[in-house]
A = this chain, B = another copy of it.
Amino acid sequence: MGDIQSGAQSALHEQILEALGGDIVCGRLAPGARVLSADLAARFGVSRSAVREVVRVLESMGLVEVRRKAGVEVLPASRWDSYSPRLIRWRLESPQRIAFLHSLGQLRSAVEPLAARLAAENASSAQRAALVQAVMGMVQTARDADDEPYLRHDIAFHSTLLAASGNPLLDGLAGVVEEVLRGRTRHALMPHQAEPLALRLHQEVAACIASGDGPGAERAMQSIVAEADAAIGAIGDPADD
């Protein structure tokens, strides 16, 4: 809420988008609430042009609906299109973050094993090498698993795997998975040291894909996602800031 800081020059609509979107996703603007775009302009201290662009984007994400004469109406969560990376990020910043991470975990448990099997069949040799490389990077940085370098290798692993599936829709989930991994680290849901089991499973997936063992890759990836979801539960449940 409140005014927009005039620190970062330009990207004004970006800031307003973040503010408004965050307000809606976190529930500070409840579904059914109506706001007049003129009021928004006044509240944020910007022109109507800027507000209109923001509202258009929110509308395209299904967060709001704009009705002539009635202002913009906040829509219920069921109408949001949940796979916009921005929306994912907002949800990971909302108080219901833990529940949402579990939903993401369930989705990954269905999608990533399939992607692993397809990757074992379709990956290019460069991609197979990149997967092995990523795992090596994870092992080398495992002592600080809650730090940026480990995160980067983890992201590279999963992104490469999804891309290697050869299915553009599975690849399209790379951004979502990345937000999950980032959110997990950012919100201190990662152990300081990487789980040895997790590392071993990542190695196995990479090895199976390298050798073209689809079912093996699928099984190992199932274990990865199950382990990850369990870890969030263990850490996240007590300390629910």
Whether A172 and B106, one on each chain, are in contact in the complex, defined by CB atoms closer than 8 angstroms, is no
Whether A81 and B78, one on each chain, are in contact in the complex, defined by CB atoms closer than 8 angstroms, is no
Stretch from A107-115, A129-137, A197-205 forming part of the interface with B? A107-115
CA distance A86 to B110 in the complex (A): 24
CA distance A118 to B105 in the complex (A): 14
Whether B81 and A175, one on each chain, are in contact in the complex, defined by CB atoms closer than 8 angstroms, is yes
A169 within 8 A of B: yes
Known A56-B57, A60-B60, A78-B168; 11 more pairs at CB < 8 Å:
A49-B52, A52-B53, A53-B53, A53-B56, A60-B84, A81-B83, A83-B172, A106-B114, A106-B170, A107-B169, A109-B114
Nearest 3 A-B pairs (CB), nearest first?
A82-B172, A83-B83, A110-B114
A residues at B contact (CB < 8 Å): 13, 49, 52-54, 56-57, 60-61, 77-78, 80-86, 100, 103-104, 106-107, 109-111, 113-114, 118, 163, 167-172, 175
